[in-house]
Structure 1
Amino acid sequence: MSSEKTLLRFGVIADPQYADVEPRLEYDRYYRNSPKKLADAIDTLNGEDLAFVATLGDLIDRDWESFDPILSVYEGLRHESILLPGNHDFSIAPQRLTEVHARLGMPAPWHHFLRGGIRFVVIDGNEVSLFSTPEGHARHAEARSRLAALEAAGAINAMPWNGGIGDGQFAWLDQMLADARERGEAVIVMGHYPLYPENPHNLWNGERVTELFERSGNVIAYLNGHNHVGNLGRTGSTWYVNFKGMVDTETENTFAVVEVYKDRIEVIGYGREENRSLAL
């Protein structure tokens, strides 16, 4: 381990997926155990020097009422908390769908911020999906046609619990990466859905996004949850790190601290999360 200074350290949590419901043993998911796991993770992360802690979606499994118990645990976090939604965060009454981003304290469904000289970009893969908008909404219809096209093409990620990003968001992301490149900033993108390697859980238009990252050349990492078993891949100059789901297993926890250096990214895993050293 070289002794040079870290540019940045931050925490990562994925898929607490809390609900006051019985476990689904076939998936090894223990929904009621997540607040305790989250509190334990926060206790550890509070002892670290971190710029922020990001939670990569699926704070709840279902029901608007589930947000209060899990979000109250974050009140014990001494670091800045950055939350983004996953598909399960929209498993709520239709009339509340438009309130999810505000409930998570997000400035916008997709946004960016600078920490330690690194540009962080949050994307919203729920934008075009069957769950983020009610029947009759234009984006709901777009989601139906996108899913039908993927099914017709035999795509392995043609699943109703995945989503995609719209053309407007894609153009915004393209511009964000171009602006960061002009300023000489390295970029880390965060979202709920994996993009790479190919997987049944991937964002519907994930290939289009990975091609954009490859063209841009300045996205050093993409961080996500959603696929609870975790994953890792690299294409172009971008590492794709899929963090494991906290809701899985009765007692084992999973979360991470990420350290960014000039020449590498170190993932320090806790519980089921793996340690990784990713050369840049």
Structure 2
Amino acid sequence: MDDCPEPTPLFTFGVIADIQYADIDDGYNYSRTRRRYYRSSLQLLRNAQESWSESAVKPEFILQLGDIIDGFNKGRGASDRALDTVLRELSCGPVEVHHVWGNHEFYNFSRSALLRSKLNSTPTTDGSPSGGQAAGDIYAYHFSPFPGFTFVVLDAYDVSLLGREESSEEYQEALSLIRQYNNNEDLNCPPDTEGVLRRFTMFNGGLSKEQLDWLDSVLSSADEKQEKVTIVSHLPVHPYSTDPICLAWNYDEVLAIIRSHSSVVCFMAGHDHDGGYHQDKNTGVHHLTLEGVIETPPDDNAFGTVSVYENRMVLKGNGRIRDRVFVFPGRHSDADHGAK
């Protein structure tokens, strides 16, 4: 059986997270415990692009899971230049890129600027947004690369101190929320506690009720069509798939929605540069947190290619990213029988 050739996938896609490019010397993370390779992250992106371009089966699209450039660019007046540099590298490939927004996007740009930028990858029809996106200035949408499969891009900083004007109602509501748990003068310092409450920092955010209702509606439609849904976000939502300090503020509400729908098969995120993985015992949904390019040494790699089949997704990792097989939960055909 081991000699049987792998069947042709229905489609493939690439994944990469936390490039955080800046044209500056190497440095360290916020707590100065991890080295960051700001310039060489561009070469690691180039390695990924070359691999995808030379692959026998070309990816249908690329998922860029957020933090495409580093916040240090802002103070140097280099935000636009750095973004152009990375996007030029990404445009060398033959396929579309779906961009997720992370905290470093908001360190560099306002929400309104991001919505007008090339980092807004909401699918368009005849030059106008398609019907697959959330309302207002929420950056969330869904797309279908192949019949029976849907991908949902979430806006994990819809509720946040980042990207919002301090005078805005959204900013004040987010400030009120974080102050319930974090009394530090510097809100990038986590609360002095253990466990999931450490997530209430300024570099995280959450999803508004409006976005949660939209997600619930999208998944209900996918349930009815018996589609397989992969959700992507910069922030992880399962506490066993990441360090608790990297979780979305209202991860529990997102998890509750996911657990109430039979269509979801996988949740992919970035943000935690160490990566992580957990399969939800209740639902069988796979929660993958991708290792970050920014803390990957220049002689290594951090990207993956996912091949999608009828009953599973196969991740072929490169460098720090390990190979994984995500067998789809059996809830699609067995949901009516109470199977897990």
Q: TM-score range by the shorter chain?
A: over 0.9
Instruction: State the alpha-carbon separation in 2 of the partners of residues 248 and 101 from structure 1.
Output: 28
Please point out which of 99, 103, 116 is paired with 2:146. 116
Are 2:120 and 1:105 aligned?
Answer: yes
**Structure 2 residue 45 is matched with structure 1 residue 38:** yes
CA distance in 2, matches of 1:43, 1:101: 29
TM-score (norm 1): 0.93
SS in 2 for 1:156: helix
- Equivalents in 1 of 2:203, 2:231: separation in Å? 21
User: Mapping of 1:1-280 within 5 angstroms?
Assistant: 3-25=6-28, 26=32, 27-48=34-55, 49-62=58-71, 63=74, 64-65=79-80, 66-92=82-108, 96-103=110-117, 104-107=119-122, 109-117=139-147, 118-151=149-182, 155-198=197-240, 199-235=244-280, 236-251=283-298, 252-280=300-328
Amino acid at match of 2:163: S
Give the conservation status (yes or no) of the 8 Å contact 2:97–2:121. no
Give a deviation string over 1:118-140, Cα, whole Å, max 9, x none: 01110000111111212111111
Residue 115 (structure 1) shift:
1.2
Aligned-partner Cα distance in 2 for 1:73–1:169: 32
Runs of 5+ unmatched residues, structure 1: none
CA distance in 1, matches of 2:115, 2:269: 17
Amino acid at match of 2:323: N
Moved more, 172-181 or 153-162: 153-162
User: C-alpha distance in 1, partners of 2:70/2:21?
Assistant: 5
Q: Deviations over 1:23-44 (max 9, x none)?
A: 2243211111121111111011
List gaps (5 residues or longer) in structure 2. 123-132, 134-138, 184-190, 329-340
The structural deviation recorded for 1:106 is 2.2
Q: Distance in 2 between matches of 1:248 and 1:211?
A: 32
Cα distance per residue 1:61-105 (max 9 Å; x no partner)? 122232111111112011111112110011126xx4411133213
CA distance in 1, matches of 2:59, 2:88: 20
Q: 1:130-169: per-residue Cα shift (whole Å, max 9, x none)?
A: 1121211111112112212344895121121111011111
Distance apart, 1:6 and its partner CA: 2.1
How far apart in 2 are the matches of 1:196 and 1:274?
19
| Partner Cα separation in structure 2 for residue 204 and residue 102 of structure 1 | 26
Distance 1:11 1:250 in 2: 20
Can you list the C-alpha shifts for 1:205-250, whole angstroms capped at 9, x where unaligned?
A: 1111111111112110001100000000121231100001011133
Maintained 8 Å contact 1:214/1:237 = no
Structure-1 separation of matches of 2:157 and 2:206: 6
Bigger Rg, which one: 2
Q: What is the letter of the counterpart of residue 81 of structure 1?
A: V
* DSSP-derived class of the 1:200 partner: helix
Matched AA of 2:226: G
TM-score, with length taken from structure 2:
0.77
Deviation at 1:254, TM superposition (A): 0.3
SS of aligned partner of 1:216: coil
Quote how far apart the aligned CAs of 1:5 are: 4.2
Q: Give the letter for the 2:140 counterpart.
A: W
